[in-house]
Amino acid sequence: MITGKGGAPAPGFQGLHLPERGVLRRVVPLWLALPDLRRYVLGYEEAHFVHGGAGALYVFLRGRKPGRTP
């Protein structure tokens, strides 16, 4: 999951006033811990440098139990 690092604005967005930077990087872990998602998420960790490093997360999902519907 790519969250970004909250760096410089992308081309075409210069001059756009954004009060916060790196919002997704801060809130995605909070979302993954919510009760509705926690039952699907085993955990997460920062991605390896070649996969985005601090701007990305590995999210580990629980597998389905045999015979169980979503």
The pLDDT tens digits of the residues spanning 14-33 come to 555 555 667 888 889 999 99
- Domain coverage including residue 51: 23-61
The C-alpha atoms of residue 60 and residue 15 are separated, in whole angstroms, by: 37
The C-alpha atoms of residue 8 and residue 48 are separated, in whole angstroms, by: 22
Domains of the chain: total: 1
The C-alpha atoms of residue 59 and residue 70 are separated, in whole angstroms, by: 19
For residue 45, being part of any structural domain is answered with yes
For residue 54, being part of any structural domain is answered with yes
Decide if 51 contacts 34 (C-beta within 8 A): no
- Check residue 21 and give its pLDDT: 66
For residue 17, being part of any structural domain is answered with no
- Residue 40 or 3, more confident: 40
The C-alpha atoms of residue 30 and residue 42 are separated, in whole angstroms, by: 14
For residue 66, being part of any structural domain is answered with no
- Check residue 30 and give its pLDDT: 92
Question: pLDDT at residue 61 above 90?
Answer: yes
Q: What is the mean pLDDT of the chain?
A: 80
Average pLDDT, integer, range 2-25: 64
Local structure of residue 50 (DSSP, 8 states): G
Question: pLDDT at residue 65 above 70?
Answer: yes
For residue 3, being part of any structural domain is answered with no
